[in-house]
Structure 1
């Protein structure tokens, strides 16, 4: 984190430099407006100023300095010993992710809330009102400004020219790696023989006599990259325990991409292990961290991150988990809900295009597919993006194999299917959802039909009670064939037996009870049809009508039990006489 200094703050102008100063000596700056009745008064609080500054493109809320220029330190007790709590509360209540820290001038304390810029096209609100600063006031944003923001398009940072960057600032070895990878990916051996100037021009890294930010990120010498774009650095932290806060080891990677990516993976792989999987003829090892998954995740982070934000990409490696955190939320139009269904628009299109042409990535939007496909196919938990928001993407990857049988199931299927019929990522995801008994409404009908055609799932039940199960092969891998048969639709004898068991413990049963008894296996209509048949056969008896209808043991069942009882009694008496 790059913290501003008190000396820098003293010379800032509130409107020009996007900063708001509050004295707050006694720590009395309201967090959320408190009990003030007028909306205009409630807005002048921490949440109001954070919201407005974020909408302005980011800035600073400074408590403990006078608002008269040049600003003098007066000191504050605002949120003393609770700045972490303040940071968490602001995020909870606004979804804005600030940095909160303290500065000191001798014994006088200053509290700084550094507010990030809003993402392109996004407006934040306080009490459902988008705010902007107007002089000393916080006012509702004008319709014109609101419309202009929501119609914004994200600029391609990687396509912008990098001031002062020269070809001599580029790493020769990185350029050679780029040329080699391009020649292999495009099957063009002549590309290796082209002069560097032409290579850069052909890939649009050089336009006229100016190099782009993409050239800086991909090819610049380490000292140049750190000087011009320090946030392009990647931090790798290792912790021996998942609940551990301080790291055991921290490494910094600041090379150009074409040298960095292999070095980074090799370092992660030093602490990698594998799980041996064996079931009859099926034998294979599953690595804790799959190389393709990790590389795709890193490529996504580097390609899609927001380089205008000052934070680096952070990788947190644990023995059996790996987190990747990068600045900038999902690209425009992408959310947690459509992550796999919406083709992504790279935030840094030129950077993505070069990586595609050099074979580093297949094509835009395919990286997440591969991450999900490989991870689920290995029987691990789904990749977890749930902690992502408008300001950063967080990916958590678990190394633990949750379902060994599922890994074997997928592996055996893929080995048997011809190349053009192998399972897609959406089919594997659907199989995983069915395994977890996901409700029918949350399943993709197109994928269900494909899996039924391939005989990998089975449809059970009728009408509203339809549900899906994995094929018998999966349950053979789990060595739990009884579970498979338990999931089948019960026949009349099974249904009657379960009803009789219930009535042997209770005096009567209602239709609602019976519907609950067979929930997930039979619809209410199916249960009623079976019950009507049992009533007709006098195995159970209907008492009452309408909402008061109840069912008790029937005449036929009672007589049948009496006959069975008499027969058993006769057998017992005969044996006693013989003895």
Structure 2
């Protein structure tokens, strides 16, 4: 909104004064973030109950006089916008302010915060507590309002339905343990793992939003159910299928519990290390063919958004250079492209009960960041961006690339690591011979990133040439400790154990050439110590002849 539109909006809000979906605060120099979070929860829930799309929290207006007095709350734009991140960190499920506007008029500066309505069936909490409005005051969300929101989708949400005859004996012990660990990790700043492990099963399931009024739901069984209990979900097959295509063919079905079996499916994928570019063109950069976080994000999205009423399975097809994810049901709200910039917030979910439970177990977020993270992750790995195919009426297909389409595109991303995601999206379309807007093409040409004439555009080969200094940078650039830790953990899980000599042979060639041999050995020693203290690995040998294994 421009300043004139914001002034009209403020006048409209002042005319109706405070009600359950508008809150004015004077907020002179600063205002407590916890109070903002509590008002966010209250306004979001009230907007949902009134069938509205948004509510407003306005700073810089006196409570009683209805006069603009101005506010100095977070005058720096970056700090003001950082409030969105702080809100997202402590709301459950994680959502945040849609927009934060600044209006400057002679009477002072006014900050208008656009609060999205809580998604149907999903009340919003701030730091574990639900809030509502009682006239002009903030108050706890009463049980009547809480039930009203939660029951909005009980009759239409397949995942929220109770499962007759299902008991706690139908739940997988390993999945329950993993669920507790994931829940404790999500709330590590407030709850310890020992505390979560001490809860009775029924208490944990209720707090993790997996049961309704003490009853097991279809979402509970999908995520935590025993394989033998899948019949309780009949006629739905409750299956994930991995299929290998190419010179070799294979397949495997994975049933319940999905919380564990998504990782089992990922481990079937042939995830070799790739040398991204030929030696004679550029010093090679080694990356895994697929990133585990991106693959699981895609798979978890399939689970969260599947139309289970169609009784289909989720299929992951592995081709020589791509993975194709398929799930039943059309894209539920908007288009994939709406979520790439990370500004679109879904107001509706096909399976809100399941989506909330998965968010509690750290499997997904509910901010719409999943698609953006997959695109950004592929760009950081110098690979083509994912493609969505919505041509089939009741299905979504997403293709994830595990190789290079145009070497010039990958070289350019290696050289220019600070390109905006919007430019990377356009370059990705150019390499795939897809059209881009004329204004975008002109801008990329002025920057020297593309060449040619429409429709025969291509990524500029001149920009993609790498100097000797840039090649040295690639060779000497250090990865973070998580990269080396993952290499080691993958090795130990595959081979069972490793000596120090074997670990050195694995990691030393991957360390930065900026380190001498002594520093490389010390870095490996420090990494082993760090993983041991975290309880990830254990030495089954002696100090002089260690044999490292994954901790039980």
Task: Pick the structure with greater CA Rg.
Answer: 1
TM-score of the aligned structures, taking structure 1 as reference length = 0.46
Q: Which has the higher contact order (CA 8 A, sep 6+)?
A: 2
